[in-house]
A and B are shown apart, each in its own frame.
Chain A
Amino acid sequence: MAISVNDIYMFALDLIKKNQAGGLKPSSFQYQWNDAQSSYMDDLLGRFQLRSNGKTGLNTGLIEDETILQKISPFITNATVTITGGNGNKPADFVYRLGLRINGYDCYKINYNQIASVNASVIDPPSATTNTYYFIEYLGYYTFLPSSVTSATLDYVAQPADVVWGYTIVSGREVYNSGTSTQPQWGVNSCREITKRMLANLGVAYKDTDFENFGRQVQTVGE
């Protein structure tokens, strides 16, 4: 069963034993929850700063194990990147590249200082004939080799939509309106965990170390 933005808002109110009017306003909830979901996604995608930062060290990016892939599956999508003059723009909601193919063949990522060597390669030169493709990442776009390619298929993790607790004013009160709300896209368990993680931020806002410690603990151990 999907969980609604109102459900998680109620859960948050219950966790902190505050009320809607003066304790945790829906607008504050939205800010904090959206921040917490971004942070949660970053954790899932891999925070290399927390661990070894060796150049070829461990744990430097997304660990594509089953648990993590299932959790981020609501955001895994694909898009066709149109390439003009060798360049193709990333989708607007792009967060993390999972795979890039041209004509069903792998497109290899190379670094900027490898472009000349790859172009001069006699073993695997960029070629549409042999389906040998490369890309380099710039700003919001990719540059492809060979530049004659016209489209690529990108599998990627998309940015979660910000939740919105929509409301209508009834008797001077904000009453939840599902029609004007934006629902969370995460699974139920992730929604609950994000709500608990949010308490770390709320603790700062309330100057309440209990909230903050609880939120930090959830971020560390998930409970």
Chain B
Amino acid sequence: MASLIAYTKKQLVQRLRQDILNDFPSSEFNVTENETLLYIDQALAFNIVGQVFQGAKVLGNIAMPESYLTTYQTTALVKDNTTGYWTTTLPQPPLSLPLGYSISRGYFAQQLNGVSQEVIWIKAKRVSRRNVMPRQPGVHGWVEGSTVYLDASNGTSLYGIPFYVTMAKSRTDTIDETMNLPDDAIELIFNNVKQKLISRMQMPKDIIADDISQGATNITNK
């Protein structure tokens, strides 16, 4: 069943702008949709991390709500000829959650062979230690920023194999995309952004930056 109003990021952006202005925004409202979207993404990321840790406090175990997860096919794997590691780029740096929650899954998949065994995630700081330990068979992966490093335990080439990751998504690809979040999270995001925008709008503005307080000059607002 389709909902009456499309739950997209754009809908949230427009709701916020209309709520703050108590009307349809005019072209004089200088907080643009893109800017509002950046505030939303910022609040969303903050909210995901907060929600996960808050959930851990209540339930005793850490858990990532599935609504935040998205599976991506990453860019083609590239081999670093110096190290022998294969690298690819994530759509965004993972959120500051423990590995396994910031990135939930990593696997290879092809029409011919289906889905591979899962990538074994290791913390970047453990790579050196793991290299001198007996290695569990499979592909090991670690993350630095938005770069993923992959290394097969038996040195198998990963050339041309599509790689997929499932991770919490806090950034927006297009403003018309469906909101990838549980509806109960909208409240906090909405309030967070609204508070920021209202406090910004209430700041006295010196349009011509002459350091003369507003009202002490006859140059009008635009």
Question: Could you tell me which A residues sit within 8 Å of B by CB distance?
Answer: 48, 52-57, 60-61, 99-100, 106-109, 111, 123-124, 132
Residue with the highest number of chain A CB atoms closer than 10 Å, among B27, B28, B214, B217: B27
Quick check: is B144 within 8 A (CB to CB) of the other chain?
no
Given known contacts A53-B218, A53-B220, A123 and B32 CB-to-CB distance under 8 angstroms: yes
Chain B residues, Cβ within 8 Å of A60: 220-221
Given known contacts A48-B220, A55-B221, A106-B27, A123 and B214 CB-to-CB distance under 8 angstroms: no
Counting from the closest, the 8 A-B pairs by CB-CB distance are: A54-B215, A106-B27, A55-B214, A53-B218, A124-B32, A54-B214, A56-B221, A123-B34
Q: Are A123 and B35 in contact (CB under 8 A)?
A: yes
Interface segment among B72-80, B83-91, B165-173, B203-211: the answer is B203-211
1/0 per position for B129-151, CB-CB distance to A under 8 A?
A: 00000000000000000000000
Quick check: is B198 within 8 A (CB to CB) of the other chain?
no
Chain B contact residues, majority secondary structure: loop
Question: Could you tell me which B residues sit within 8 Å of A by CB distance?
Answer: 27-28, 30, 32, 34-35, 38, 204-208, 214-215, 217-222
Given known contacts A55-B221, A56-B221, A109-B222, A123 and B207 CB-to-CB distance under 8 angstroms: no
Bound form: Cα–Cα A99–B35 in Å: 22
B35 to A, closest residue via Cβ = A123
Chain A residues, Cβ within 8 Å of B28: 109
Bound form: Cα–Cα A106–B205 in Å: 23
Bound form: Cα–Cα A106–B27 in Å: 6
Q: Are A57 and B27 in contact (CB under 8 A)?
A: no
24 pairs of residues in contact across A and B, judged by CB atoms under 8 Å: A48-B220, A53-B215, A53-B218, A55-B205, A55-B214, A55-B215, A56-B205, A56-B221, A57-B214, A57-B215, A60-B220, A60-B221, A61-B220, A100-B27, A106-B27, A108-B27, A108-B32, A109-B28, A109-B222, A123-B32, A123-B34, A123-B35, A124-B34, A124-B35
